[in-house]
Chains A and B, each alone.
Chain A
């Protein structure tokens, strides 16, 4: 009977309850969307492996390092493998079609990044084709590329028309792995540089190191940077996570803004629900007084009020989650260039549920307080 009373109370003002649920749903969706953006932003950081270090030029990310460092880094104790990559920076038909492109070392890159999974025959084909490229599954879907296609990129750094053969498609080991990048061969790029800008050959963008023991990363980082101190190109070595964060931090102000916004939205959800619950509580003053006069205690009424508040909050939260999944799916391809991994994570899902629970309980506090304080004689004097 209590549950049915809660449901019937919620249905007293159908339009008001419906609008409240809708209001909560839209706000919950907005909240979830912001959390999803934040999660997408950090996913590159989360995906980084603790047993990987990145060594780059100490001057900055746009300065290169000589390929000759590779042998020396490999000799350092605790370094298991060394690979490297360059930012390619090409345009496919239209600048709007942006996606990350890396020219990578064909021998060790996939060994250092085992989370990128390529079928063995495609991987072999890549090794045998100087112009071969392996693209992420989502990127291939985005442009409808298939193995065997030939595509042309217009180089914005290496100004030329570049032809590539799509020889392979990689998949991420799980949902958090970026499947929106293109990996071409570094030796293809280097051959072009040797021909066009002879002085700049055999340079790489950054090294990625695989360690035998992640616990020694600090010690190994400083060993590397010490070794290249006072050389023509000094290095800066950090964990892959710190490296990824250094990109994220550039937009730190925006991150803070988004976080603040997500809290403001919780406030909005709360106000929508508080408004409805307070109105409902006021209208029922005489009924609450009457129930108390029958011998019902304040806590009975608090139960009924909280039940209604939670019911509305959960319906709104549920609808908001549905909207969130829908919207996330629609905007996914539109935001693919900034957020290669744009999914509503289980963590976001849980946070949204918790927010609904929290808001539902909080909104019940105001009318509950009223019902606890109300004297029966005063409540009965209220005639509606």
Chain B
């Protein structure tokens, strides 16, 4: 393990990562603009820790996840896994890294092969990384399914024969099967009721304690993110707006968007009915956004300066960072 300046073991480092999707229109499919899905993201992740990633739907979380795993090619930036640069690696060159970096996809149906039983799907993954004999692999499949609360008999069934939440748990079992070091969990518990959700969160936590797994945890449920994360990054239109230790981001957040998001979190209590407050202003378009702060058209504090030049991610103290000059008075 490489050590960074502060003595932490850095498992993943991402610098200046960008992904712009072209928008093509007309018969000639001419490019008429760009969607800036991920627009310059820096991250550093220590082994055995969890980074929570939250933000509005469409802000670029899944794209960032797919960039890190090299499922899409970045337009700019660098990715380092355990100190080694993997940015330019080809599919074949990535192969030895695959088993260490897994993803639990947001859409479990789309990520399972409909023509394979779930047992075959998981077993195939094990075979690809060369795990034991067929007999050993089958035993492992049963063990994995039971870990996520699916009866072993179900290994012989096809994806469509399961409920939404069962499929999601099959995706989790598959990601865990190859003993990865880093797992990107993209909405891993969104389809689960609270009791099974708790079971899965406890499982992820005990694996982290036992095996030192590192997670990037993407979720919309802010209570869940607070519970699982060591650090939290808040994204908005391809930018990280605020970053820091979970306690700090949750209780001393500074960015106006963080406030809008975190303070809108509904609570499971019928007497709190009035808490439905959408963000004011129109949802901004990711197409060719205006210069300056990406939050400008919805921000209650906006001033002229916010509309000029790029706003950088300022250091507040320790690891806490905020992309807003105004709240910091800088």
The reply to whether chain A is a binding partner of chain B is: no
Interface residues of B, Cβ cutoff 8 Å to A: none
Interface residues of A, Cβ cutoff 8 Å to B: none
